[in-house]
Chain A
Amino acid sequence: MPRARPHSPHRPEPLALVRQVVAGNPAAWQRFVESHLGFLHALAWRYARGDQDLAEELCLVALEGLRRPDAEGRGCYRLRRFLESREQLGTRSRFTTWLALVAKNLFRDWFREREGRRHLPREIEGLAPLGQEVFRALFWQGLTEAEAWGQLHTHRPGLGPAEFEAAVAAVYGALRARDLWTIYQDLLRRLPAVSLDAPLGGPDGPHLQLADPDPVHRPDARLLRAEEHAEAERLRSLLAEGLASLPAATRQVVQLLVFRGLDGDQVRRVMGFRTRQRVYDEMARARRRLRTWLGRRGLGAEALEAALADLGACAEPREGPGSRSGGGGRLDGNVGRDGSGGPGSESEGGDA
């Protein structure tokens, strides 16, 4: 029986095994399953939200996805593509990184297919099919707007960003009276959702993940109050402008570290920096510049401090599920600390 393991950068690349699986060797498949089922299960767990049966189902969904043949009937086309890309394009990721990415997409597709059978709210039924799909993605699957774009874009090759934006606007327009205030409350509480490339934020925290029960019908949904909406909107656009004024590399560090929630080491690798210190230096620079930028534009000291504290808090390593938007940490105080990649999470007793 395989042990579930944390993602470890030090495990050897199981490429030989992948090649044997692609070649159709059943014994290799068994060893492949034994090596990776624990990891898949750990990945599936968050999507299953503690539902053990669902987590197991998702594991099988992912494994079937890995075995699925291409249009010409050649087996395991995803694994085959992984190997080919590695050889031809030099995409030398760890196998488990790739596996996590692919599994997550297979989970997402499975949820999407399942949710497609649910009944749409009346406001949304009146929208064009694209709008309905956008609604499903944002509110049933709990995807970020960016994720929704990715998903729809993949399945509708002709879809342009403008058309997508219009559909998103139509969805928010249809929901305005009932739910927008709740969405903006989320956005204000969690400034990371304010980003250049995902203008409307949205319910994208780990706890509003895929299987979230229809948030449109949450009991606390209230009417949007116009002046608070306007204030949120003003803060959002000021921040967006301030971010746009940063040097490209600095802005990208902010995007990855704060808005995308990568940890310092992950940001270092994506950016191609040699040291993690560089990541934090860029972040400190962003804070300085934003403070000046927002201050000059008359953003109240209180809101400004809240914004900056959130920026700092989110740059701190996340300790556990849900701690993302917790207390006001100081970015400058945690240089050199990093919680990911290592075998740091010992027995926490599975919180089933």
Chain B
Amino acid sequence: MTCLSAEELAALFDGRLPQARAAQGRSHLAGCPRCAGEIQRLSEALQDAARQDALRPSAELLAQAVALGHPGVRPVAAEVPARPVPADTRAAPNERK
């Protein structure tokens, strides 16, 4: 059996994968370090995130994140790997520039 997709892994983790597929998934998990590792990391990420309740993203980050959705501001290329967004995207076009 091939490895589980991200969608399948998440659903198996939540106990929300159709039964037959879940059984297959579990037996795959027992022998596949990749998928078992994915489940482990997911568990760790969620457990850690649940402890970070006191943190707040800054207003500046929120603005940058929202700006990603405005067409033409910062086209996201299909081929290029994700890069950090430098400060210059902070000012969207047609505003403060």
Contact = CB atoms under 8 A, between A and B. Distances in A.
A29 B76 contact: no
Contacts of A21: 69
A269 B49 contact: no
Contacts of B62: 1-2, 33-34, 37
Contacts of B81: 109-110, 113
A98 B54 contact: no
Find the residue from B37, B49, B69, B71 having the highest chain A CB count within 10 A: B49
A289 interface: no
A61 B64 CA distance: 11
A26 interface: yes
Contact of B9 (A43, A101, A206): A101
A136 interface: no
B55 A100 contact: no
A59 B49 CA distance: 13
A102 B19 CA distance: 23
Find the residue from B18, B26, B50, B58 having the highest chain A CB count within 10 A: B50
Interface in A19-37: 21, 26, 29-30, 33-34, 37
A345 B54 CA distance: 9
A69 B76 CA distance: 8
A12 interface: no
Contacts, number: 278
Interface string B33-51: 1111111111111111111
Given A42-B53, A101-B42, A269-B14, A197 B33 contact: yes
A92 B45 contact: no
Contacts of B83: 61, 64
Binding site secondary structure of chain A: helix
Interface residues of A, number: 97
Find the residue from A1, A60, A61 having the highest chain B CB count within 10 A: A60
B26 to A, nearest CB: 7
A198 interface: yes
Contact of B12 (A33, A85, A104, A270): A270
A329 interface: no
A320 B48 CA distance: 8
Contact of B54 (A92, A102, A348): A348
A4 B57 contact: yes
A262 B7 contact: no
Contacts of A340: 46-47, 50
Interface string A54-77: 001101110111011111010000
B82 A43 contact: no
A116 to B, nearest CB: 10
Contacts of B60: 56
Given A104-B41, A263-B43, A86 B7 contact: yes
Contact of B46 (A91, A97, A346): A97
Contacts of A318: 47
Contacts of B34: 146-147, 149-150, 153
5 shortest A-B CB distances, which residue pairs? Answer: A29-B69, A269-B15, A146-B37, A146-B33, A150-B34
Given A104-B41, A146-B36, 4 more contacts: A89-B8, A263-B47, A272-B26, A352-B55
